[in-house]
Chains A and B, each alone.
Chain A
Amino acid sequence: MSSVQTPVAPAFDGSARSVGADAVQLTGVRKCYDEFVAVSDLTLTIDSGGIYGLLGPNGAGKTSTIRMLMGITVPDAGQITVFGQPLGRAHMDQFGYLPEERGLYKKMKVLDHLVFLGQLKGLTSTEATTRAKAWCERFEISSWVGKKIEELSKGMQQKVQFIAAILHDPRLIIMDEPFTGLDPANAVVLKDVLLEMAKSGKTILLSTHRMDQVERLCQSICLINHGRAVLEGDLNQIKAGYGRHNVQIKYDGDAHFLQEKRLVQSFNDYGNYVEVRLAPEANSQELLRLASSHARLDRFEVMEPSLEEIFIDVVGKSNA
């Protein structure tokens, strides 16, 4: 655990709400810009506590959805409720937002900037100062607090932006591609902070293209395409629903067994290993026997489909 003083969640009536109650509920939400439909009839539920992944190809409507949730734009139709109440300005102080396109005042000093944004979220200036210093310590940018934003590297600015999003200890944290621009070491620090917050009962909405992150961090996901939810729910259940049709094989020798159309629907050669999608009704054990008769096997593993595969599959189907 870190040495950072974990700020206490702000007291709401019913703060003892059980984890699992809805943090965010979108019902039939629609947003159009002229003829262009950014979000159409989107319905999704984000449970309180944990990390929720919002996925979708470019232009699917992720950012439009987030902007409505943040009250920056207003839906044309449908309802948004937050913590059981219709979304209103009063909720803004309970939200933390890291937009995809980062923005800070270039001429402001780091600490001044953090305090300014903290005050906008209702912190007092002393409170904001103490917290900002603690977080800067944790992200190892303490020596930069007196510098102007423009003097910082991209990665450091990113950290400042992240601190600004969580400084006021929000109940709902919305992160749009939080890991871009961070080196692996800092990405780990950020991931740890996100997990800690999720464990302490915060709700985190993670919008990203990075399937591997979602797979590792999120409990539930929503995949949207053309402004609609095409897949939503618990990540493990979704994966289980897709069945175990994938096999990872590391082999040496004759690769002819991959051409067996009766067993192999498709395969993807990664060089070190090959990922095989079994044909419907095919038996993985039959493939094992066939493969071992042709080549020397180092590994043969039946796997759940990766989220990336599900993503490509579902998006492909919904585009068709």
Chain B
Amino acid sequence: MRNTWVILKREYLERVRTRTFLVLTLLAPAFMTALMILPAQLATMGEKPEHIVIVASTQQFGNNIRQQLLAEPLIGEESEYDAAKSKSEDQYTIDVDTTATESERAVLRDKVTRHEIDGFLWLTDGAIAAHSVAWDGQEKAGSREKAWISEAVNRVVQQQELGKKGLTAEQSAEMLQPIKVETFRIENGRETKSAGSGRFMEIIVMVMLIYVAVLLYGISVMRSVLEEKTSRIIEVLLSSASSTELMTGKLLGVGAVGLTQIVVWTVMAGVIALPSLAAQPNFSELQLSPLVMVSFVLYFLLGYLLYSTMYAAIGAITTTEQEGQQLQFIIVIPLVLSVFMLSPVIRTPDSAAVVWMSMIPFFSPIVMYARIVVQTPPLWQIGLSLVLMVGTIAGLVVLCARIYRMGVLIHGKRANLPEIMKWLKYAKA
């Protein structure tokens, strides 16, 4: 116990005092904030008042389209966020042009080239009858712009057709009123509004944090195991403490570093981010349930410990850092697989495959956490995955400790599997 504590303290202080820790602690929140805010910022930055020309056979039809375009906001994937800052009238200049001739088309094309207008819509009666209209612009229209235009044109044409069939404007408007789909999720028996993309963000944050923390500190665990072997300090340490005490102390120290980091980040988030986040109109949807927050901390820490233990094992069986880095794929593969699994996990969080995968300790930190975020799984499943992770970590620590102890006898080449088995045998007592 005493030795474990002494080692824990050393490992903790040696890491917390490094520049890596300082940089990561300060930069990660900045990075995360950027990740959340930048895409939205970038989307708005690109928008400047646009000048569009509608070419229609009649002024009336052109005006209708114009009104429709101005009335409906630009529809896109991130509708919740963009709804608040949809393009309002003052951002657009939409002219209606009724000279629908080929020469006019050439003139308009010329204007686009000279940046006088951003683009024009070719909506002549002929084009409408052919069910195909054209947009010529400086940029090829994106899916959002396309949807926006197609919505407006369809609306107006449908309204016009319905009018011809004898319906009043009100009747046709009512008929064409789109039906909204509202999504809810049941959480602890209560209905809450689903927060689609916000949920996804929580998972991405988890993936990023685990990945960054594991890659940075996991490698430092591997390095420190290697250093102890190559510098032969292992012999001095083992004359004072058991290899299990050493490994446990080392990993708990590393775990404490991770915990510190989370605490620092939480405090920083509280101080810096909350006021600005609270100002966001959809802040309430970002609110996390206590279960999600607790499991975030648990799965982050356990995942980080598990992967660090794997790094320690790699350090124990190799003799140089290059060799160790070659073996890193053992750790990277489960991480990458977890990320690949995210899409099925989010779509069908309770399918058998996803449930089983979330139980496998190497995938749990990301897959089980994602399940918890998307749809609360049965508590026993959460409990089981936690128990399995803790068990795997403990088992790996014992295994590492044995291999590590035999590291004292090793010089030179990396051990192959039969040799490792032999060490485990020697180290049994």
Bound CA–CA A103/B235 (angstroms)? 8
Using Cβ atoms and an 8 Å threshold, which residues of chain B touch A99? 232, 235-236, 239
B2 CB–A CB distance under 8 Å = yes
Docked-complex contact B232 and A103, CB < 8 angstroms: yes
Q: What band does the interface of chain A fall in when counting residues whose beta carbon is under 8 Å from B?
A: 20 to 34
Given A33-B409, A103-B231, A108-B14: A117 in contact with B2 (beta carbons within 8 A)? no
Q: Does any Cβ of B come within 8 Å of A73's Cβ?
A: yes
Contact indicator A34/B240 (Cβ below 8 Å): no
CB B418 to nearest CB in A, in angstroms, measures 11
Q: What is the distance, in angstroms, from A260's C-beta to the closest C-beta of chain B?
A: 51
Query: Known contacts A72-B408, A108-B14; is A103 also within 8 Å of B239 by CB?
Result: no
* Bound CA–CA A101/B229 (angstroms): 11
- Interface residues of B: mostly helix, strand, loop or mixed? helix
Number of interface residues of B (CB under 8 A): 26
A116 adjacent to B10 (CB under 8 Å): yes
B319 → chain A closest CB, angstroms? 14
Report the stretch among A89-97, A281-289, A294-302 that lies at the interface.
A89-97
Q: Which residues of B contact A34 (CB under 8 A)?
A: 422
Number of A-B contacts (CB under 8 A): 68
Bound-complex Cα distance A95 to B241 (A)? 12
Task: Tell me the chain B residues, 392-417 only, with Cβ under 8 Å from chain A.
Answer: 405, 408-409
Given contacts A73-B426, A116-B10, A122-B2, contact A101 B232 (CB under 8 A): yes
> CA A34 – CA B422 in complex, angstroms?
9
Q: A102-B232, A107-B14 are in contact. Are A67 and B408 (CB under 8 A)?
A: yes
Q: What chain B residues lie within 8 Å of A92 (beta carbons)?
A: 239-241
Determine if B232 and A120 form an interchain contact, defined as CB atoms under 8 angstroms apart: no
Q: Within 8 Å of chain A (Cβ to Cβ): is B204? A: no
Separation of A121 and B3 alpha carbons in the complex (Å): 8
Q: A72-B235, A99-B232 are in contact. Are A121 and B242 (CB under 8 A)?
A: no
The closest CB in chain A to the CB of B18 belongs to A107
> Does A106 have its Cβ within 8 Å of any Cβ on chain B?
yes
Say if the beta carbon of A12 comes within 8 Å of chain B.
no
* Minimum Cβ distance to chain A for residue B10 (Å): 5
Write out the residue numbers on chain A whose beta carbons fall within 8 Å of the beta carbon of B133. none
Give 14 new A-B contacts, CB below 8 A, not counting A33-B409, A70-B238, A102-B232.
A33-B426, A71-B239, A72-B405, A95-B239, A101-B232, A103-B228, A103-B236, A104-B231, A105-B14, A105-B227, A119-B2, A120-B6, A120-B240, A120-B241
B interface list, Cβ under 8 A from A: 2-3, 6-7, 10, 14, 227-228, 231-242, 405, 408-409, 422, 426, 429
22 A-B contacts (beta carbon < 8 Å): A70-B239, A71-B239, A72-B235, A73-B408, A73-B409, A73-B426, A89-B242, A92-B239, A93-B240, A97-B235, A97-B239, A103-B236, A104-B233, A105-B227, A105-B233, A107-B14, A117-B240, A119-B2, A119-B6, A120-B240, A120-B241, A122-B2
